[in-house]
Each structure stands twice: as structure tokens, then as C-alpha cells.
Amino acid sequence: MSDRLPGFSTLAVHAGAQPDPTTGARATPIYQTTSFVFNDADHAASLFGLQAFGNIYTRIGNPTNAVLEERVAALEGGTAALAVASGHAAQVVVLQQLLQPGDEFIAARKLYGGSINQFTHAFKSFGWNVVWADSDDIASFERAVTPRTKAIFIESIANPGGSITDIEAISTVARKAGVPLIVDNTLASPYLIRPIDHGADIVVHSLTKFLGGHGNSLGGIIVDAGTFDWSTGGKYPMLSEPRPEYHGIRLQETFGNFAFAIACRVLGLRDLGPALSPFNAFMILTGIETLPLRMQKHCDNAKAVAEFLAGHPAVASVSYAGLANDKYNQLARKYAPKGAGAVFTFSLKGGYDAGVSLVSKLQLFSHLANVGDTRSLVIHPASTTHSQLDDAAKVKSGAGPDVVRLSIGIEDKEDLIADLEQALGA
Ligand SMILES: *Cc1c(COP(=O)(O)O)cnc(C)c1O
């Protein structure tokens, strides 16, 4: 082997995987088993006490999932990762390590609709309070900081309008406040943006989207950048204080720069239980092998479709950061030079009714609530993903009544444009 560091595409195919030591299988096997036999009683005791790493029970870890974890950690440039059952599960597990009841976290208002719901309602019942800020106004994050703030949460490319977030500026606010920056990197994938390179301390993904990439398997992942010092000021007792579940060990002291990933596994996943099926881990790993190829095609197609829409007489505006005159184009050039992603919105001169009519006339685009599939997808956020918001909040989060969201697939761009043309024109 040369001592060259492998590039992104090589890591996407190989990171974390070895031929199976028992059978020689080259593709990562699906270890479809709930539990694993111990070598002897001492081995069992050391696994349970966190003195040794190894497999115990698939709710805590599984060899197929471990390959996925190592691969995504490598692609994101983190120290370790933890795979879980869905993107939402990743968000719960992350915040459970950081917040006590009565604590706060700051979140950008432009977010996946499901995350707005989760933060506003489900987390309130845990005593975790979300404080909203506006990623177009960095000072709004600073103003939101209080002594109870424990984290800042943003999306790198934000739903639904595909806007680009100034990760470095918000990371500066997080540093000053002494709290970790969590970046949901779902819409960008590490192929387009690696948030850790820009100051993120924790990266989360819905693997369901571009990483899996084929619209067939749910999953989520948490990547630990290894950058945050959890011992300061007793703010993060899950990491800094002795854990009664594990003979009084302190996770930060014992595990150093991957303590957060360990906490998520042994305190979050073990006790909350949202384990990823090894079958889904296998499907998502297979998807990741072609991530660089797919993502480039997604972006190139998205740019062509956005340009077509921008020139169409029925279209009032297009919000795609890859367009030269877009508000976020400067940020896109800095953070996502290979492409501005494949999820974006546009608005129709005919308003709500025109949006509903368009969605019903499209044939190649599937009308459904997902993004990041090989297939092109369309949805009207105001009546679906963002329907729980009031009108003002809809507009603020980029999901006004006249807005249609597209997730551009990897079909031939000419066919996508022809489908939009017939649906807009007829
Ligand atoms: C889909 C999505 C989620 C939630 O992920 P699930 O896998 O559906 O739980 C979170 N964030 C973003 C940006 C998403 O697109």
C-alpha cells in the first residue's frame, strides 16, 4: 500500500469494510442476529463494564452497522459515529446527552418540517426548550444564548428552500457560548459539504435520504467530531460525571475525543432503543458506495431544472442556491462548490391552486413526502410537510402557500424538464 490518504470516492466504497474473516465474503454481510456469544465469563463482564469493545446485543451494536458507522465517520472526517433507526432518532439521542429538563437549545428556523414538529412538541414533553433563530441573521443566534443554552442546531443546506447556512459564522457563536454546534447534513451529504471542516462538533443525518439514496430504507447517524471539551463547567453531566450504569466511570475522561459517540451508544441507544436493522445498514452501505456519482448527477440535474424553471413564464421565483443570482449563491460557492444540492423550491404565479394543479399533472415526478431518492419527487409543503405551521411561520420557514418543493433525481434531465413543461403549460 502507498501511504497516500484515500480520496472521498475510495472511502465511499471501502471505509470500514474488510473481506469477512470467516467466509471471505467481499460485500459486507448482513449480520442478522440479535446477540453474540461471549468468549468466556471474563470477556462478558469486560464488555458489560465498557473495559473492552465488542458485540453484545444488536440494540447496542452490530457488525454490519459498525461498517456503516466507520464509513460515515470517515466520509465526514469525525472520530466515531453511531447508526440509529432514523434521522429523528439521531436527533433525540444527541440531545438526550446534552440537555437536562429545563435546558434550552437554539435551532435555525429553516428546518425539515418534521424537525420543527419534534423540537416544538415532542421535546417540550421532555422539558427541552427550543429557541428559534434565523440563519440569515447570525446575531439572532447570539441574542438567543442564555445560561441554560446547551447546543445550537442547524441544517447545512436547509429545508425546504435549499438555502445554504453560514456554518463557520454560527460555529463562532457556539464557541463563544461554550456549546456544541450540531449540523444536520442530510441535504448536502458529506460529498457536498463536510460541516466538521467548518467548525461543527456533531453531525447528524437522515440516512433515509441521499446517503441511502434509493428511497428504500430508513436510518439515521450521529458523527462525533471529537472537538468539544465536555468537562467544562459541569454543563454536560452525562459526559463529565460518574455514570452509575457503568461502575462510576466518566465518559469524557475514559473515551476522550470519541466520548460523545460512546455516550450516544451506551446511554442513548442502549436505553432509548432506536436500533437500526442490520438489513437497512446493508442497504444504506450499498447506497453510499455510489454517493459521489449520484450526488454529482443530482446536483447537475437540479441546476438544469432550476434554470429551466427560472425562465418559465408561469414561475414567479426559484429558490436554488446554485443559480448565479440566488441570495445564497455566494455561500454556495464557498461551502458547496461541487453543487448546491438537489432539493429546492419555486413559487408559481398562480399561487396555491397552481401548485396543487402542477403536482397533479406531473407524471415522471412522484408526489410524496421524501427527498434524496434516485427518482424525482415533488411536494406542496404548505399542505403537507409544513401544514402544522401557521401562515406566518410557513412563510418564514420558506413554505408559503405558493411554494412547490422538488427533489431532483438522477434520471435524464431532458425528461424531467419535459415533464415540468407539460404540467406547467397544460
Ligand atoms: C428526513 C429528514 C430528517 C428526519 O429523518 P427520518 O429518517 O425521516 O427520521 C431530518 N432532517 C432532514 C433534513 C430530513 O430531510
Give the model confidence (pLDDT) of 39-54 as tens digits: 999 999 999 989 989 9
Minimum mean pLDDT range among 27-31, 113-117, 259-263, 315-319: 113-117
- Report the nearest-CA residue for atom 2 of ligand 1: 206
Please tell me the distance between residue 88's alpha carbon and the centre of ligand 1 in angstroms: 6
Set of cell numbers at residue 159:
429545508
Q: Which ligand 1 atom is at minimum distance from the Cα of 91?
A: 10
For 202-237, write each residue's pLDDT tens digit. 999 999 999 999 999 999 999 999 999 999 778 999
How confident is residue 356, by pLDDT bands cut at 50, 70 and 90? confident
Residue type, 155: E
**Which residues share a beta bridge with 132?**
107
The highest-level CATH class for domain 8-287 is alpha beta
* Cα–Cα distance for residue pair 245/247, rounded to 1 Å: 6
Residues comprising the chain, all counted: 426
- In CATH terms, the fold of domain 293-425 is Aspartate Aminotransferase, domain 1 (3.90.1150)
Residue type, 397: S
Buried b (16+ CB within 10 A) or exposed e, 59-75: bebbbbbbbbbbbbbbb
pTM for the structure as a whole = 0.96
Please tell me the distance between residue 386's alpha carbon and the centre of ligand 1 in angstroms: 13
Please tell me the distance between residue 203's alpha carbon and the centre of ligand 1 in angstroms: 13
Residue 337 Cα distances to 164, 310, 341, angstroms: 12, 21, 10
- Report whether pLDDT(95) > 60: yes
* 3-state secondary structure (DSSP) of residue 190: helix
Asked if the domains 8-287 and 293-425 are classified in one and the same CATH topology, the answer is no
* Cα–Cα distance for residue pair 414/375, rounded to 1 Å: 14
The single-letter DSSP state of residue 122 is I
**Which residues share a beta bridge with 319?**
345
* In contact, 54 and 175? CB cutoff 8 Å: no
- Report whether pLDDT(424) > 80: yes
Q: Where are the domains positioned within the chain?
A: 8-287, 293-425
* Cα–Cα distance for residue pair 333/325, rounded to 1 Å: 12
Q: What is the pLDDT of residue 1?
A: 60
* Cα–Cα distance for residue pair 331/417, rounded to 1 Å: 27
Q: Which ligand 1 atom is at minimum distance from the Cα of 372?
A: 15
Question: What dihedral angle (degrees, nearest 10) is formed by the CA atoms of 344, 350, 352, 358?
Answer: -60
**Most distant CA pair in the chain, distance:** 73
Q: Pick from 62, 74, 70: which is nearest to 8 by CA?
A: 74
**Which residues share a beta bridge with 375?**
none
Q: Ligand 1: which of 209, 217, 370, 379 to mutate, judged by most atoms within 8 Å of the beta carbon? A: 209
Average pLDDT over residues 70-77: 98
* Cα–Cα distance for residue pair 161/346, rounded to 1 Å: 8
Please tell me the distance between residue 117's alpha carbon and the centre of ligand 1 in angstroms: 12
